[in-house]
A and B are shown apart, each in its own frame.
Chain A
Amino acid sequence: MPFSTILFKRSLLNCQIVVIVSASLNKGLNFDELMPLHPAVKEFENMVADKERYRKFLQEWLRYSWRWAREEKYKLVFRIQASILHAIREKLDSMGFVEVLPPIIGPVTDPGIRGAKQVTFDFYGHEYKVMSSAILYKQYMAASLGKIYFVSPNVRLEPLDSIYTGRHLVEFFQVDLEMYNATYQDAMKVAEELFCYVVKYVKDVHGKELEEKLNRSLPDFKPPFPRYTYKDAHKILCTELNCKFEYGTEIPWECEKVLSIHHDTPIFVTEYPRGARGFYDREDPTRPGILLDFDMLYPEGFGEAISGAEREYEPAKVIQRMRETGEDPNKYRWYLEMLKELYPLKTAGFGIGVERLTRYICGLRAVWESRPYPKVAGIAPTP
């Protein structure tokens, strides 16, 4: 029996059948049938139902990761991951993007990360950070080369409850791209094209293995994917789909899931209200309070895939938004100076997590299966 199965016996019998919304509540949407959650997602949900047992499992899983990394299943996962990266580079290069080396450290990094702590260290008497995302540097290089991307390592000391999401790693990679003089709609188009290309590429190269070894069949996706503004998503969820949450707050995962099971493709949620996002998502000057940004959600319950936006470039606006995190803008001095000097630094872009994409494509339980030597919040020691 493979190591992974010994550690946590699949208990598919316990899987709850997802009937979250009845068909009668489904009038506003064009789907008669609900897309079921992927069995791996259901299995993950069952695992975390017993938090203590899940934690123990995860400790073992992380501590002895070299053991399962040698199993046939994971050998394939890692080979597919390489193909995913290959496909991303091939596609982006063909679209005129230039791959640029990402920064690893700097005096500041992305502060717009939900409750996660940054890694700080002493840089010759100054405090420096390990990149939690290279977002501030994307604009820097987009100003130079126009269309750029990083394959970028990020470290985020996530809150401890993040181990129950299946989507959070402390150390992960994202493909982070940025375009000069572009809008968030342009970025969305790139996102869906890129996603479709990667899925097709992996199917072409690994289709048979995927089905035989991972029991995963992927559909043929075609852009454009459905788009909901946050406002519409809020309305549909609260009135038609019976998943209530307060306007202005992030859409809770349970509600995102409800929305996504009504679709057999990824979906976009756009135009989040201001306050729920980092200072760099641009506020629509004609519609105060509305941000020109988007998230893409995977189908089958795999959750958030991509976050992107047009960037705020008015220095005064950026400073005001920085204060919303309680910080002294002086900390971001180089960035603010750059915004002033390169005014107007109009860019748009997005980031797509490589481990999450691998999880989706391979149909895995959680991101701790889609990366070698995984690290999650609060669990140590690990390789």
Chain B
Amino acid sequence: MLFSIVGLHLRLLGKLRLLTGAKEFIKDYPVAEIARRALKGRDAIYPFGTLMEYGTAVLGSTVTLPRYPRFPSLDTTIILLPPAFTPKRLDKMVDLLREPTFEDVNLECELGGFKVSMPIVAGTMGSTAIASKTSIPIAKACAKMGIIYGIGENVATVRGYSKRLTRGHPCFKERLMAYLTNIDKYGGVIIQQSVEDAYDELWNKVYSDKDVEPYLEEGKIGFEIKIGQGAKPGLGGIIKIPREQVERLKQKYLIEDTGKEKYVTRYSVPGTYTEEILRGMIRNMRTNYPRVRIWIKLGPFKDAMKVIKIAFEEGAHAVVIDGKEGGTAMAPCVAMQHLGYPTLVSLAFIRRARLLGIDNKLSLLPAGRLYDGSHVVKSLALGASGIYIGRPLVISALVKGEQGVINYLESVKVETQMLISALGKYDVHEVDPDDVASLDLNIARALEIKWAFELPQQDI
């Protein structure tokens, strides 16, 4: 009797624990904040809600909410430094013949070989159910907003290239064309190929696809070499697939079939790289796909600088360094907790690379828990060319479909413009390391930026 009560209790505890995945994510990640943006768009940049309208609210910076991660982040340690004197605002005024506003801030730039309306990239999301279901509204919204859109690995292999292989999930071409047919003068699409996709020659397929040809000619296509991702660096893609797909996929993937559940776990291999292999791969791609932009996606690896160096020397267009906060649909807990460094360290690599002379020919982007205008501006100030995001788009799409994603992106755009104008600058290219400081002396030293408390010594 006693044992069965204890057993019941333990089972209950276990079941409750099962719920924690979703609960912890909602508690830890700013889901509500992004959902609000998806609903309200530009208005969401103000902290008003139904209960606290303008006029009744009293606002101030939050410093005590217990939702920060256990390691330093852009939010906890990096601040932006607005000046009193703004000579560039004067220049802009001379240009415009009026006082400039934040809306005069130009965000248009070159990013990873594409012309974009703002320096934000919808990162490559893969074949997982949630990424798959939200992929079409995200693709359309990104195209309309003029930002780069990524298609992750295994999509073509698992969901089908041009025909749907799984019910209710768009195939690869649907995602691709939803984006390409909606772009105007900005944007570009980046496509990953896992080892298993390579088996099916995904990149060759795209490169010889008649429907894609006009966009290849316009330079709107990029291929992304995936060397790793933040949530599980060193491990390959892991997803659950319905049992009925096992037969089709077992030739190409490692499948862990315990024989009971409706879903089985499908692993893809991480792929083996050495410096030589990466160098050879970039060269091969430049030869085989001369009209394609070459991107490299890295997990939080200690040798990121070597990758940046090789990418720069071999003429790749962009390197993305995913910090350990990087989103994922499925990763082992130990990997998320213990493998790799946080996004702030990714930015430290980017900052150091710029100091070592890696110029803007190679775009460098951080990824991992980046979702608002401050993240864009701080990253730019530290030498990044833009930010690479995923989860905010998925959440926005879940909240309000395509319009939700557009609303969300609008809100980030306005925030970015506001912050840059507050720095007395009117072009995204003008943001520099002088615009940020760290509240932490060690981090300030590591990033070679100002320490916020280090005040000027000169006489008044």
Query: Which A residues lie at the B interface, using CB under 8 A?
Result: 113-118, 120, 126-127, 157-161, 246, 248-250, 273-276, 320-321, 323-328, 331, 377-378
Determine whether the beta carbon of A326 is less than 8 Å from that of B225: yes
Inter-chain contacts of B216 with A (CB < 8 A): 159-161
- Using A320-B276, A325-B198, A326-B271 as known contacts, say yes or no to A276 and B283 having CB atoms under 8 A apart: yes
Complex Cα distance, B216 from A327, in Å, reads 23
Question: Is residue B48 within 8 Å, beta carbon to beta carbon, of the partner chain?
Answer: no
Determine whether the beta carbon of B288 is less than 8 Å from that of A323: no
Interface residue from B198, B208, B269, B277 paired with A117 (Cβ < 8 Å): B208
**B2 shortest CB reach to chain A, Å:** 54
Q: B306-317 interface mask toward A, CB cutoff 8 Å, 1 = contact, 0 = none?
A: 000000001100
- Using A249-B286, A276-B287 as known contacts, say yes or no to A324 and B210 having CB atoms under 8 A apart: no
**B170 shortest CB reach to chain A, Å:** 22
**B249 shortest CB reach to chain A, Å:** 12
Complex Cα distance, B272 from A320, in Å, reads 9
Complex Cα distance, B272 from A116, in Å, reads 24
255-297 of chain B: CB within 8 A of chain A:
269, 271-274, 276-277, 279-284, 286-291
Inter-chain contacts of A113 with B (CB < 8 A): 288
Inter-chain contacts of B196 with A (CB < 8 A): 328
Determine whether the beta carbon of B284 is less than 8 Å from that of A118: no
Complex Cα distance, B264 from A202, in Å, reads 64
Question: Is residue B184 within 8 Å, beta carbon to beta carbon, of the partner chain?
Answer: no
Q: Which of A246, A276, A325, A331 has the most CB of B within 10 A?
A: A325
Q: Considering only CB atoms, which chain A residue lies closest to B278 in the complex?
A: A324
Question: Is residue B200 within 8 Å, beta carbon to beta carbon, of the partner chain?
Answer: yes
Complex Cα distance, B193 from A272, in Å, reads 27
Determine whether the beta carbon of A159 is less than 8 Å from that of B207: yes
Interface residue from A117, A127, A275, A323 paired with B283 (Cβ < 8 Å): A275
Complex Cα distance, B314 from A126, in Å, reads 37
Complex Cα distance, B267 from A328, in Å, reads 14
Complex Cα distance, B207 from A120, in Å, reads 16
Q: B181-210 interface mask toward A, CB cutoff 8 Å, 1 = contact, 0 = none?
A: 000000000000101101111011101101
In the complex, how many residue pairs between chain A and chain B have their CB atoms under 8 Å apart?
94
Interface residue from B251, B277, B289 paired with A323 (Cβ < 8 Å): B277
Q: B217-229 interface mask toward A, CB cutoff 8 Å, 1 = contact, 0 = none?
A: 1000000010000
Interface residue from B207, B210, B213, B281 paired with A326 (Cβ < 8 Å): B281
Inter-chain contacts of A249 with B (CB < 8 A): 283, 286-287
Q: List 18 A-B contacts (CB under 8 A).
A: A114-B288, A115-B204, A115-B207, A115-B290, A117-B208, A118-B201, A118-B204, A160-B213, A160-B216, A248-B283, A275-B280, A320-B274, A320-B276, A324-B283, A326-B193, A326-B281, A327-B195, A378-B210
Inter-chain contacts of B286 with A (CB < 8 A): 249
Inter-chain contacts of A127 with B (CB < 8 A): 199-200, 251
- Using A117-B207, A249-B287 as known contacts, say yes or no to A323 and B271 having CB atoms under 8 A apart: yes
Q: Considering only CB atoms, which chain A residue lies closest to B213 in the complex?
A: A160
Interface residue from B200, B217, B277 paired with A120 (Cβ < 8 Å): B200
Closest 5 CB pairs of A and B: A275-B283, A324-B280, A117-B204, A326-B198, A160-B213
Inter-chain contacts of B282 with A (CB < 8 A): 275
Interface size on B, residues (CB 8 A): 39
Determine whether the beta carbon of A274 is less than 8 Å from that of B280: yes
Complex Cα distance, B1 from A228, in Å, reads 89
Complex Cα distance, B198 from A328, in Å, reads 8
- Using A275-B284, A320-B274 as known contacts, say yes or no to A326 and B195 having CB atoms under 8 A apart: yes
- Using A117-B205, A160-B213 as known contacts, say yes or no to A325 and B281 having CB atoms under 8 A apart: yes
Inter-chain contacts of B200 with A (CB < 8 A): 120, 127
Q: Considering only CB atoms, which chain B residue lies closest to A322 in the complex?
A: B277
- Using A117-B205, A250-B287 as known contacts, say yes or no to A161 and B213 having CB atoms under 8 A apart: yes
Inter-chain contacts of A160 with B (CB < 8 A): 208, 210, 213, 216
Complex Cα distance, B210 from A377, in Å, reads 9
Complex Cα distance, B201 from A116, in Å, reads 9
Interface residue from A248, A274, A275, A327 paired with B198 (Cβ < 8 Å): A327
**A283 shortest CB reach to chain B, Å:** 10
Interface residue from A320, A325, A377 paired with B284 (Cβ < 8 Å): A325
Inter-chain contacts of A377 with B (CB < 8 A): 208
Q: Which of B210, B217, B271, B277 has the most CB of A within 10 A?
A: B277
Determine whether the beta carbon of B279 is less than 8 Å from that of A115: no
**B209 shortest CB reach to chain A, Å:** 8
Inter-chain contacts of B201 with A (CB < 8 A): 117-118, 120
Inter-chain contacts of A327 with B (CB < 8 A): 195, 198-199
Q: Considering only CB atoms, which chain B residue lies closest to A157 in the complex?
A: B208
Inter-chain contacts of B291 with A (CB < 8 A): 161
Complex Cα distance, B291 from A28, in Å, reads 33
Determine whether the beta carbon of A116 is less than 8 Å from that of B195: no
Complex Cα distance, B204 from A120, in Å, reads 12
Complex Cα distance, B279 from A66, in Å, reads 48
Inter-chain contacts of A276 with B (CB < 8 A): 283-284, 287
Q: Considering only CB atoms, which chain A residue lies closest to B226 in the complex?
A: A326
Inter-chain contacts of B287 with A (CB < 8 A): 114, 249-250, 275-276
Q: Considering only CB atoms, which chain B residue lies closest to A324 in the complex?
A: B280
Inter-chain contacts of A157 with B (CB < 8 A): 204, 208
**A75 shortest CB reach to chain B, Å:** 33
Interface residue from B225, B283, B288 paired with A115 (Cβ < 8 Å): B288
Complex Cα distance, B210 from A158, in Å, reads 11
Determine whether the beta carbon of A324 is less than 8 Å from that of B281: yes
Inter-chain contacts of B269 with A (CB < 8 A): 328
125-183 of chain B: CB within 8 A of chain A:
none
Determine whether the beta carbon of A324 is less than 8 Å from that of B277: yes
Determine whether the beta carbon of A275 is less than 8 Å from that of B279: yes
Complex Cα distance, B273 from A326, in Å, reads 9
**Apart from A248-B283, A323-B277, A327-B199, what 16 extra A-B contacts exist at CB < 8 Å?**
A113-B288, A116-B204, A117-B201, A157-B204, A158-B208, A160-B208, A160-B216, A250-B287, A320-B277, A323-B271, A324-B283, A324-B284, A325-B198, A326-B281, A377-B208, A378-B213
**B460 shortest CB reach to chain A, Å:** 55
Complex Cα distance, B208 from A377, in Å, reads 8
Determine whether the beta carbon of A328 is less than 8 Å from that of B195: yes
Q: Which of B199, B203, B204 has the most CB of A within 10 A?
A: B204
